[in-house]
Amino acid sequence: MLRRLVIERLGHRGEGVARAKEGLVFVPFALPGETVLAETEGERARLVDILEPSPDRIEPFCPHYGICGGCAVQTLAEPAYAGWKRGLAETALRNAGLDWPVEPLVDAHGAGRRRVTFHARFEKGEARVGFMRARSHELVEIEACPLLEAALAGAPAAARALAQALAGRGKPLDLAVTATTGGLDVDIRGAGALEERETLTLLELAERLDLARLANHGRLVTLRLPPGVMVGKTQVLPPPGAFLQATAEGEAAIARLVAQGVGEKAKRVADLFCGVGAFALRLAERARVTAIDADVAAVEALDRAARTTRGLRQIEAQARDLFRRPLDAQELARFDAVVFDPPRAGAMAQAQALAGSAVRRIVAVSCDPQSFARDAAILSKGGYAAKFITPIDQFRHSPHLEVVALFEKAAEAAPRRRLLSRQ
């Protein structure tokens, strides 16, 4: 149905939200205050024409905008854009019943994204590589993405060449590419076990493309150069496909806030869901750190980096599933501060244990405002109050948002610490 709609606001996925008789309608690429012509089907709509544009509308800088689903909001000028992103955290907190102020948005795009995942599909034996349309399984071929840092300029072509080498399988592929100090680090996913001839072809391609490392489902195909990533003063060699913050500036900005939250007086710090040590390796410059994550390979990479770096205090790296076995109040009692940076789903069980602990300072890092607000509400019920909540924008033009917050427990709300025997 073709209809005229007035856009009231941007939703949490970056879509324009209009109100119709039957309920809300979501219009991708429309902006607040605009009157648009849209083709609707239920609550979903396709933007056909902009009848009355917003005064905050600007021209998109990417020719794929409106087709590729990677960017949701590229035509909204500052400060309206920053206000929308900050509002994602404010709305999530309000919905969780928390009336806490949110700091201004920190722009952490920096030089661009240092990691990207391309999708590969095959048509008549030819590899097509790019990103997906919004809310679609249709591939949009990409030759270049202006949001990627310069070191990833050759990534689309490399991904296409590698996918073409596996065209005979006809399977949809994902190719995760990371910029490292040694060059491009690629992990192919979806191919399954490789045949010998495929492995030989990929080895030749890795040489021709000058890749640092090539892996298939995390299993090493070839290692030509150390795929290093700098974490503060330390070089880490992450396992294939390891999680990293999207931009180097994003990681640095988050780490600065984490260090601020932990404070200079903390002597023992726990870094939960530590990954390869983005925070632990920096915090260890002034405190003893216990770093815990379920990803064994990531923990091993952190441990190797810590052992080969001078000037760090002790880092105790442990592999442990904190969803199934969160640190309890007794285990937490020995720490002056705790940092936790869980996956998108948050860390309800660990937040509950923290809420009942005697830890005075807790720094929460989250890539999802909704799960952050839920975990923050748990901490609030345990007597914690937020001292700062800062939104960080490293996924520029997307609805993704990082949040860093410091929580402190009032002295009167803190339970008595248990005396731990020294063994």
Average pLDDT over residues 356-379: 98
On the question of pLDDT at 411 being above 80, the answer is no
Please state which CATH class domain 115-229 belongs to.
Answer: mainly beta
Average pLDDT over residues 363-385: 98
User: CB-based contacts of 329: which residues, under 8 Å, 6+ apart?
Assistant: 353, 356, 357, 358, 415, 418
Sheet holding 173-180, edge to edge: 139-141, 126-132, 115-123, 173-180, 183-189, 213-216, 219-223
Supply the CATH classification number for the domain 88-109+244-413: 3.40.50.150
Number of alpha helices (DSSP H) and beta strands (DSSP E) in the chain: 9, 22
pLDDT of residue 170: 87
Known catalytic residues are 367
pLDDT of residue 419: 32
pLDDT of residue 73: 97
The CATH architecture one would assign to domain 2-57 is: Beta Barrel (2.40)
Average pLDDT over residues 183-192: 97
pLDDT of residue 415: 45
- pLDDT tens column, 297-345: 999 999 999 999 999 999 999 999 999 999 999 999 999 999 999 999 9
Rounded to 10 degrees, the C-alpha dihedral 39/40/41/45 comes to 90
On the question of pLDDT at 420 being above 90, the answer is no
Same fold, 88-109+244-413 and 115-229: no
Q: Can you give the residue ranges of every domain in the chain?
A: 2-57, 88-109+244-413, 115-229
pLDDT of residue 423: 30
DSSP per-residue string spanning 371-401: HHHHHHHHHHHTTEEEEEEEEEESSTTSS--
- pLDDT tens column, 241-282: 999 999 999 999 999 999 999 999 999 999 999 999 999 999
On the question of pLDDT at 418 being above 80, the answer is no
Average pLDDT taken over every residue of the chain:
95
pLDDT of residue 134: 79
Q: Which of 138, 178, 146 is nearest to 159 (CA)?
A: 178
State percent of the chain over pLDDT 70: 97
- pLDDT tens column, 129-178: 999 987 788 999 999 999 999 999 999 999 999 999 999 998 999 999 99
Answer yes or no: are the C-beta atoms of 307 and 288 closer than 8 Å.
Answer: no
Written as one letter, the residue type at 173 is L
Quick one: three-class SS letters along 207-253? HHHCCCEEEECCEEEEECCCCCEEECCEEECCCCCCCCCCCHHHHHH
